[in-house]
Amino acid sequence: MPEEKPEATAENPPAPPAGEEVPSGEKPDDKGGAGAESTSEEDALPDWARKELAKVRGEAAGYRTRLRDAETKLSGAKTPEEVEAALADVKAKNAELEHSLVVATVARKFDLPEALAGRLRGATSEELEADAKALQSLLTPVPPPALGGGLDPSDEDDGEMDPRKLARRTRRF
């Protein structure tokens, strides 16, 4: 029969794998080596990816702090009315955050700058996408009709290469 191990909790951290020693003063769940590896991997990323990663981490930190604030409000509520009011406040903030997340996703999908992402209007993602398409059509430059530049090679070419004609056309020094 397999041996059952107790679940890891804050009071009962997981034991290190056999053969590994935990340095004194360091918890077994600390990521001593993993943090250094991820930093070197992040340094290998291009600038735009590092900026995007920092932005996403900042958003996640904001979500965590708002969750802690909501938990504090709900734990401090004494009466059912206070609980309902705090719950309504949390739901309103959650709806606002979900909408801002959808707006940011649509803006990235259509390559809109952040300055225009705030101007997207709509309640659903379909409405936001329609508005983003309209904005994108105004931002997208129209390419010039001919990008070839120079002469059309078929103007003087009769399909045959005559070395004498070519020699006559070349400039002598």
What is the CB neighbour count within 10 angstroms for residue 74?
Answer: 14
The structure tokens listed for 69 are 């604030």
**pTM for the structure as a whole:** 0.41
Residue with tokens 């909501």: 70
d(CA 125, CA 102): 7
> Exposure pattern of 15-43 as b/e (b: 16+ CB <10 Å)?
eeeeeeeeeeeeeeeeeeeeeeeeeeeee
Q: Which residues have C-beta within 8 Å of that of residue 14, sequence separation ≥ 6?
A: 8, 28, 29
Q: Which residues have C-beta within 8 Å of that of residue 105, sequence separation ≥ 6?
A: 125
Q: What is the pLDDT along the chain (173 residues), one digit of tens a residue?
A: 444 444 444 444 444 444 444 444 444 444 444 444 556 787 888 888 888 888 889 988 988 998 898 888 777 767 888 888 888 999 999 999 899 889 989 988 988 888 888 888 988 889 999 999 998 888 867 666 666 666 666 656 566 778 888 788 887 66
d(CA 89, CA 79): 16
CA geometry: angle 49, 106, 112, nearest 5 deg: 65
Residues in the chain: 173
